[in-house]
Amino acid sequence: MNKLDFNHRPEFGPALADMVDRAIIDGKRKEPVRKYLGGSLIGRECDREIQFMFFHTPPDPGKDFPPHILRTFELGHEFEKILFKYLRQCGFEILTHHGDGRQIGFTQLNARFKGHCDGIVISGPEKVGRKSMRYPQLLEIKTANDSNYKKYEYRGVQKAKPVYYAQMALYLAYMDEHFPGISDGGALFAAVNKNTSELYFEHVPFDVQNAQEMSDRAVHILAACDGGDLLPRVAAKPDDFRCTFCSYSDRCWSFDY
C-alpha cells in the first residue's frame, strides 16, 4: 500500500497565495496614475497628507497597502454591484454610467479636481418607512469592519466618517448641474458590515457650507501644489494618532517645517 503524503499540501497553498499576491502588486503598479486631485480625498483632515497623495509620493517603507488590503478594496467594489441589485429589486432606479460608458462624476478646475459617484438614484419608492423620498439622490456605498459599522449606527456618517460626509456634500453640489434637484434629494449613504453582512442606510441632506469649504480647500491645495508650497501639518507632534496612521509620517516629520 502506498504511503500517503500530506506534506505537499501546505506548500502548495501558500505558494499559490504568494503568486496571487505578487500578481495583485504587479497589477497595481501597472494601473494608470491619476493626474488630478480626487474628490474622495478632500475631506481628509491633513492638507499636507492630501498633497503627498496628489503627488503620488511613495509611502514610507513598509506602509504600502499589502495585497490582502487591496483585495478588501476590490471586494468593496464588488459589493457595490450586489447592493445595486438589491436596491433595484426594491424598486429603485440607479444610474452608474453615462450612455457612452463613462462613470458618472464631476470635473472641476480645468479637470484637475475630479470625482466619480457610486451611483445616482433616479427614482424609487415614494416613502421608505415614514420618510418621504425625493429624487434624484446621490448613492454612496462603503464597506466597514464591525467597529466602524457600529460607529455609523451610533453616531451617523457625519460624525463617524467626516471624510465621507464631505465627499457627499461636494458631489451633491457639483452634480446638481447634471442631475437638477439632486441637492434637494440629498444622498443615500449605505454601508455593509464586512463581518456580518448587515446593512446600514442613512439619508444625508445636502450640507452647502461643507461643500463650499471643500471646494475652497481643493483650490487652496492645488494652488499650494502648483507653487511648490508644503502646507502645514495637521498635528504638532509625530505621535498624534493621525500621524501614526499616516503613510507619509517619516517623510513628513523629516522636514523642519
Q: Which residues bind ligand SF4 (CB under 6 A)?
A: 46, 48-49, 233-235, 242-243, 246, 248-249, 252
The candidate with the shortest Cα–Cα distance to 149, out of 167, 163, 161, 165, is: 161
Nearer to ligand SF4, 149 or 248 (CB): 248
Q: Could you tell me the smallest distance in angstroms from the CB atom of residue 92 to ligand SF4?
A: 38
Q: Could you tell me the smallest distance in angstroms from the CB atom of residue 246 to ligand SF4?
A: 3
What does the block give as the cell for 140? 454612496
- What SS3 state is found at 200? strand
Q: Which residues contact 212 (CB under 8 A, 6 or more apart)?
A: 173
Quick check: 61 and 251 in contact, CB under 8 A?
no
Map grid coordinates 483585495 to a residue: 71
Nearer to ligand SF4, 210 or 249 (CB): 249
Strands 187-193 and 137-144: parallel
What does the block give as the cell for 30? 501597472
- What SS3 state is found at 49? helix
Q: Could you tell me the smallest distance in angstroms from the CB atom of residue 45 to ligand SF4?
A: 7
Q: Could you tell me the smallest distance in angstroms from the CB atom of residue 243 to ligand SF4?
A: 3
Q: Could you tell me the smallest distance in angstroms from the CB atom of residue 164 to ligand SF4?
A: 18
Nearer to ligand SF4, 193 or 247 (CB): 247
Nearer to ligand SF4, 133 or 246 (CB): 246
Nearer to ligand SF4, 100 or 239 (CB): 239
